Chains A and B, each alone.
Chain A
């Protein structure tokens, strides 16, 4: 099925240029062009779209307003900004409305790549309802304690970026959001941040404050999920994954990916708890009574697991393919086509170890999440002990 892409810009020449430049995508994409926000909304009413690419500065209805309406009226659509202006205020206006930002001039390959990824993500998550709910998520719910602390800090004009960063680092949702923001195209950073405290310092306390207070950058969690336990687990997986990466002498980029993917691998649980609160309670109960892993119950009930849900949103938010892949397939690494020991496999192993350690603590050694067949296939079975030692040694030191 052809994906439908809608481009919106008040400058007709830009639309013409895009239409010509993307001509060779005509077999995969069905492209439409609108010269105003109103026209774009009318076109979407007639025929839905998968991806909207909009300019920011337009007469009558600007890009931020348009994308906010798209979010409400067509929540499933992936929303991308392509703007000649990169002023912070402008980006902040669109922050919760857009999934990604591109600045003019954006070359052909980047544009094709970003739209292509958005389309590919939609294939990953089956079901319109699920897609719509996840696409609508602009902030992840935080642990109430952390949320209260960050809001308190926001009220103190003297709070330093470092102080804010430390609070953010104690919460999964805030960490995910800040990492998304700092690594987005708008900041145009030559290097990637995987350390969230540094990221907050880089963004600056003023920008964070205005985003939190005016755009609802953070929100807080309903009480149906033990956010602190989830955060502890995420940190544990991230830590173990990093140590395995160190033992395997992976390069810096891969180690950063491993760290980030480890931290975010269960981020989908937050989305499910937030968007499907009833289902979430049911899933937790079934998993407990039947002893089946959560993701299996999620497949049965929702048609997708927290892995795909989390990967989908992180993909929409523009995190790198490697991280998105690692989140999506962390339960079934064999399903991913690339057969190598990459960040995905590291996260898978680290997650299995973390569950192993937890099961030892609660005296339940039955659940084994490790894909041993894959380990055999990758000839990594004999490395497992080395990694387990590295993981456990450090765990004891904690």
Chain B
């Protein structure tokens, strides 16, 4: 359908223009212009479906107009009506991309058919162009989408704080992200392409290898929690790793994906929390037990005191009876009651009772004393409800601590104390400080145990000394144990570092001690040691508010 299309006719020959108008006006709406400038104005002012122009005109050439028209509206069908049929002109015109070329003279049919064709072709082309554009837009949008998700994946990948290691089926490293670089201390370029087991990683390699092999064999997800490794700073740490198999080239050809993180800080925090909870519950328990024990201790003690006094009274009575017996014997040595009394004395072994009963009472009283001092120590040691800083007599705190820990050292060491009687009170967290003393005393006992010959009756010594030093209090806890070897001395305060066999030590004792002394009390904890002859821990605590 090309009817009612709007056509602009341009020719400087009025006769030609009139001819064209007459030929076309039945079918089309036509405007006309006598030269290029007025044609330009028409093109700017109106939309035309087609332009029919002469080439050789006075002033500007039709070629110029065609270029302008193209710029103005690329969908317009352009036709040339010209008397010129020279080769060069035609090329020039065809370069300008025209849809039809009619050489004067022409008849109406020729014109109408050419115009109709031109309009049709143009319409087709326009639709094609639109389709093309739509297609291009769609492609561009899809490309943008793709780029966006690419960027997202990239930023996601670089944003992953977890370690991500990919291994090919032949266990070469194909993925090694930034977290793997920082946590494991091997750069991506060094790792990529390398054989996984050749990498110089100081982690629990046998466990890792077992995990990877198990994963490949079973295809199951393998979790390696608390995997020991050495952190970049040289200290001990823990990784939490998860190993999964990924299909690379179909079944039976699986690679390995290892993901995980350095969980040392989390474990440290958890263990501190557990420690605090433990202390709290021990405190509550101790206070409750103390009360439960104190009441019977009161009456056991009272009753024993009563026995003591009552026995003295009995003895006086018996002494009197002895004299009476003597007297009776002199009067009638064979009187049945005299005989009976003498027999009774022999049966009861009075001499023995006389000697042993006071001793038994004395020792029982001493035992009661000891029970109450242990209960008191237990309560003081656990110090329930002391989450604020309190002034504490360090000598007393040490006494209650070694009393509750007695069972740990009594078979391996003699305990000596050298307490400064003029020690000022120290403002501190008593519960936590006691825990520090306990850890060090127990370590001392273990160190001594390590050098004592088995089944021998020898003992080492633990010496606890305190001393006021200006606005500080110094506590020295020494042992005659095995000492600390040079190569690990700098590591003893590291969390999780332990020389004890699995299950015996958590590697937390001295680390906690160090943290409590330095961070919570602003003090210092040092060690002096000679391998083979013993260790001294030196704690310095600022006195705090009371001086």
Contact = CB atoms under 8 A, between A and B. Distances in A.
B299 A13 contact: yes
Q: Which 4 A-B pairs have the closest CB atoms?
A: A17-B302, A17-B299, A20-B306, A21-B302
Interface string A8-49: 000101101110110110000000000000000000000000
Nearest to A191: B393
B396 A190 contact: yes
Interface in A84-120: 84-87, 103-108
Given A20-B306, A21-B306, 8 more contacts: A14-B299, A20-B305, A20-B310, A21-B305, A84-B290, A84-B291, A108-B305, A204-B388
A186 interface: no
A12 to B, nearest CB: 9
B424 to A, nearest CB: 10
27 contacts: A11-B295, A13-B299, A14-B298, A17-B299, A17-B303, A18-B299, A20-B306, A21-B301, A21-B303, A21-B305, A84-B290, A84-B291, A84-B294, A84-B295, A84-B298, A85-B291, A86-B379, A87-B385, A104-B297, A105-B294, A105-B297, A105-B372, A107-B369, A108-B305, A202-B391, A204-B388, A204-B390
Interface in B454-502: none
Contact of B425 (A17, A86, A202): A202
B546 A201 contact: yes
A16 B390 CA distance: 39
A25 B80 CA distance: 144
Interface string B376-404: 00010000010010110101100000000
A201 B298 contact: no
Contacts of A201: 391, 545-546
A106 B388 contact: no
Contacts of B425: 202
A28 to B, nearest CB: 15
B390 A107 contact: no
A85 B290 CA distance: 8
Contacts of B395: 190
B396 A106 contact: no
A206 interface: yes
A104 B298 contact: yes
Contacts of A86: 379
A201 B391 CA distance: 8
A20 B302 contact: yes
Interface of B: 287, 290-291, 294-303, 305-306, 309-310, 368-369, 372, 379, 385, 388, 390-391, 393, 395-396, 425, 545-546
Contact of B545 (A24, A84, A105, A161): A161
A162 interface: yes
Interface of A: 11, 13-14, 16-18, 20-21, 23-24, 57, 84-87, 103-108, 161-162, 189-191, 198, 201-202, 204, 206
A103 B299 contact: no
B277 to A, nearest CB: 20
A106 B310 CA distance: 20
B302 to A, nearest CB: 3
Contacts of B303: 16-17, 20-21
Contacts of A16: 299, 303
A39 B294 CA distance: 24
Contacts of B290: 84
A276 to B, nearest CB: 39
Given A201-B545, A206-B388, A105 B393 contact: no
B306 A17 contact: yes
A16 B368 CA distance: 17
B298 A105 contact: yes
Most buried by B among A20, A23, A191: A20
Given A23-B309, A103-B294, A105-B372, A87 B302 contact: no
Nearest to B300: A17
Given A201-B545, A201-B546, A204-B388, A14 B301 contact: no
Nearest to A86: B379
Contact of B302 (A18, A161, A189, A191): A18
Nearest to A161: B545
A104 B295 contact: yes
Given A84-B295, A103-B294, A104-B297, A198 B287 contact: no
Contacts of B295: 11, 14, 84, 104
A103 B373 CA distance: 13
B457 to A, nearest CB: 35
B390 to A, nearest CB: 7
Contacts of B388: 204, 206
